[in-house]
Chain A
Amino acid sequence: MSDTTHPAGGGGQGGHEGEGATRRDFLYLATGAVAAVGVASVAWPFIDSMNPAADTLALAQIDVDLSPIQVGQSITVTWRGKPVFIRRRTEEEIAAAASVNLAELRDPAPDSARVQQPQWLVMVGICTHLGCVPLGQKSTDPKGDYGGWFCPCHGSHYDTAGRIRRGPAPLNLALPEYAFLTDTSIRVG
């Protein structure tokens, strides 16, 4: 009895006994593995149901008309529930952004990699620290030490290309996917 229900652990027994223990071990492992795979495959649909749904994903494109925006003005549009900053930059801002020494940037990126047309800066207006909306869209807002945007939550400063220059945020403001449909309209997403 005890031989079959409790496989012998110690050595020194006959070959038959050792073989029985091995088979029993194999059965334990196989049962355990089947259970683990089963639980994981049953769990996945429930976990994945919490990811963005098809309609949430479908809402993920918007067209924006840029023609009303004057030089030095910004607008904020909502895309995927997030603010997108669109700024028509001044010549000085473009020059300031282009003249920065890349070596002193935390998240190095030349100005040319931040824009498709130097005049139009299009960014997700969410601080890369913990997700607040930085100030700087209105002409009366504080723009931080680098003339771009300033996040009041924990004090991150972004420059005129939306690059992180000072404060706790690790990365530049994110760039959404967008394309110019005409000279004065873009599709975001």
Chain B
Amino acid sequence: MAAPQFKNPVVRWIDYRLPIFTQLNHEYNEYPMPKNCNYLWSFGAIAMVVLITMIVSGITLAMNYTPHTAYAFNSVERIMRDVNFGWLIRYIHMNGASMFFIAVFIHIFRGLYFGSYKAPREILWMLGVVILLLMMATAFMGYVLPWGQMSFWGATVITNLFSAFPIIGDHIVTWLWGGFSVDNPTLNRFFALHYLLPFVLLGVVFLHVAAVHVHGSNNPVGIDIKGPQDSLPFHPYFTIKDTFGLGVFMIIFAGFVFFAPNFMGHPDNYIPANPLVTPAHIVPEWYFLPFYAILRAVPDKLGGVLAMFGAIAVLFVVPWLDTSKVRSANYRPLYRQFFWVLVVACILLGYAGSQPAEGIWLIVARVASIYYFAHFLIILPLLGKLERPRPLPASISEPVLKGGGRLATAAAAKPMEKA
């Protein structure tokens, strides 16, 4: 791919010294995308836009927010009532966190379904898991900032998880708090870190995107691009497709912000933090519920904590646990079914996490937790050996061009649907 000839002399002057325009053209204009990528491939770009939205809304919130136990709650209420468009900015930030997790969860399950973590994309996948961890840390600390009852007790319960570690546990917790309970020093450091981590996140996202562009995107068929007939330039084909997907996503996002801004929140967080009274029913934000359910499913404190962290740690090694050479679940009849069982298990875990840990929901949480780990640690390694994949097409375009009647007509019908 030769350097493009830019007409604008200023652009040419800069590009000769710092080839950012060549780089941009290379990565976002002529960059070859597999032409069969569907809308599930839009969620990376969507997540990126949500991250930028979080940073912009976060910085403007920070200009009116006071990180002190005596003022934090009231400063957020002032943002809601007195600051120009404060209500909008805060609701964007609050719901943006949820939308971020929705986009990233879909993005991750997309990767699991189409085997996007397989060689040569292992590092890309692991950077993705790092992004998930950073997001969770950022969202957890952000939720503490408004200093409501859920902020305080969520912070207390989650930081206390570290006390489960023998000997050093209590020292870690005191160190995290900067005191003997969640208090002003804790709020201050959480604010500092909540401001910092999104920029660290941005850095890791940059590496993640750089890693995608080394070998290109995976695609629904899961085989490599064999030639020019298999790909389309990123611009305009995928810029338009991603923009359309983003538009639909943003309509849903705006729907929450304007019509149900507290739907995903918890009313107790509009009560100022009180260190002497625990709310009757503490639940974390919805995006933590599956992990919370795993924590509570284990009847031992340290065991529960290890299982919860293990649930994410296991994702790091998925590229090596899955022994099948075939990427896409579309060609793996058995894996495809187990994939959906995993999805159901995760949803059940999420629901069980929102219920009191007793009776039927405790049992559901236990069964689903066992399946979660079994899926990755037992089923994935075995399936690669036992399963007989369906034959893969010779190339990405083969199913479309030769006798792929169903796909071809579907593709032709698309423009008419939109017209």
Decide if B60 is an interface residue (CB 8 Å cutoff): no
Which residue in chain A gives the minimum CB-CB distance to B296?
A154
Residues of chain B contacted by A74 (CB below 8 angstroms): none
A85 to chain B, nearest CB (A): 10
In the complex, what distance in Å separates the CA atom of A153 from the CA atom of B156? 12
In the complex, what distance in Å separates the CA atom of A18 from the CA atom of B277? 71
In the complex, what distance in Å separates the CA atom of A111 from the CA atom of B299? 27
Decide if A108 is an interface residue (CB 8 Å cutoff): no
A81 touches B278 (CB 8 A): no
Decide if A53 is an interface residue (CB 8 Å cutoff): yes
Stretch among B176-184, B333-341, B378-386 lining the A interface: B176-184
A52 touches B296 (CB 8 A): no
Residues of chain B contacted by A169 (CB below 8 angstroms): 301
Interfacial residues of chain A within 48-93, with CB under 8 A of chain B in the complex:
50-53, 56, 60, 76, 78, 80-83
Stretch among A4-12, A115-123, A126-134, A180-188 lining the B interface: A126-134
Partner of B175, one of A51, A126, A131, A153: A51
Main SS of chain A's interface residues? loop
Residues of chain B contacted by A81 (CB below 8 angstroms): 179-183, 275
Residues of chain A contacted by B392 (CB below 8 angstroms): none
Decide if B26 is an interface residue (CB 8 Å cutoff): no
Which residue in chain B gives the minimum CB-CB distance to A137?
B276
Residues of chain B contacted by A47 (CB below 8 angstroms): 175
Residues of chain B contacted by A52 (CB below 8 angstroms): 174, 177-180, 185
Residues of chain A contacted by B180 (CB below 8 angstroms): 52, 56, 60, 80-82
Interface readout for A100-117 with B: 1 if CB under 8 Å, 0 if not? 000000000000000000
Partner of B156, one of A80, A131, A152, A154: A131
Residues of chain A contacted by B315 (CB below 8 angstroms): none
Interface size on A, residues (CB 8 A): 26
Interface readout for A130-174 with B: 1 if CB under 8 Å, 0 if not? 111100000000000000000011110000000000001110000
Task: Using C-beta atoms within 8 Å of the partner chain, give the interface range for chain B.
Answer: 20 to 34
In the complex, what distance in Å separates the CA atom of A155 from the CA atom of B358? 9
In the complex, what distance in Å separates the CA atom of A34 from the CA atom of B305? 36
Report if A83-B179 is in contact (Cβ < 8 Å); known contacts: A130-B161, A132-B153, A153-B282.
Answer: no
Which residue in chain B gives the minimum CB-CB distance to A154?
B357
In the complex, what distance in Å separates the CA atom of A83 from the CA atom of B153? 14
A133 touches B157 (CB 8 A): no
B179 touches A56 (CB 8 A): yes
Instruction: Please report A residues at the B interface, Cβ cutoff 8 Å.
Output: 47, 50-53, 56, 60, 76, 78, 80-83, 126, 129-133, 152-155, 168-170
Instruction: Please report B residues at the A interface, Cβ cutoff 8 Å.
Output: 153, 156-157, 159-161, 163, 174-183, 185, 189, 275-278, 280-282, 296, 299, 301, 357-358
The 7 closest A-B pairs by CB, nearest first: A80-B180, A81-B181, A131-B160, A132-B278, A130-B160, A130-B157, A131-B156
Additional A-B contact list (14), CB under 8 Å, known A81-B181, A152-B278? A47-B175, A50-B176, A50-B178, A51-B174, A51-B178, A52-B178, A53-B185, A56-B179, A80-B180, A82-B181, A82-B275, A131-B159, A131-B163, A153-B282
Q: List 18 A-B contacts (CB under 8 A).
A: A51-B174, A53-B185, A56-B180, A76-B276, A80-B179, A81-B182, A130-B157, A130-B160, A131-B157, A131-B159, A132-B153, A133-B278, A152-B278, A154-B296, A154-B357, A155-B357, A168-B299, A170-B301
